[in-house]
Amino acid sequence: MTSHWPLAFVFQQSSPQSTGPSSGFFLFQLALIFGIIYFLMIRPKVKKEKDHRERVSRLKKGDEVVTAGGIVGKIIHLEDDRITVKSGESRFVVMRDRVADIPSDDGKKEKPA
């Protein structure tokens, strides 16, 4: 005797699902999740990058910088997209966008009294 129960599932009439209030609620949840991700992850990063670009554009001779490679030194010469940094007895040229931090930036950090 052969069983035909798998065919029963194929021939069953399925009722169409309604897209009533549940789809509106789903869209609200999706928008809420996107808003949370934007305000907690994307916006602070964009703001931090903008602040960093502004600080790098205000570099001047004598500022202390930390490069992306971790080298700490003072700026001795500035060009459009390159800076010359002196660290110890060495001097080297670094692309301006490879400056990772500016610890001597007086506008952002205050030294304790």
> Residue 112: pLDDT above 50?
no
92 found inside a domain: yes
* Dist. CA 40–CA 23, nearest whole Å: 26
In this prediction, residue 74 carries a pLDDT of: 95
Whether 52 and 64 share a structural domain: no
18 found inside a domain: no
102 by DSSP, 3-state: which?
coil
Whether 66 and 97 share a structural domain: yes
In this prediction, residue 79 carries a pLDDT of: 92
Could you tell me the residue range of the domain that residue 47 belongs to? 23-58
Return the structure tokens found at 66.
């930390």
Q: pTM of the prediction?
A: 0.62
What's the mean pLDDT in 73-97? 94
Whether 70 and 97 share a structural domain: yes
3 found inside a domain: no
What's the mean pLDDT in 73-96? 94
Whether 66 and 99 share a structural domain: yes
pLDDT tier for residue 43 given thresholds of 50, 70 and 90: very high
In sequence order, the β-bridge partners of residue 84 are 77, 93
How many degrees, rounded to 5, is the angle at CA 68 between CA 67 and CA 72? 30
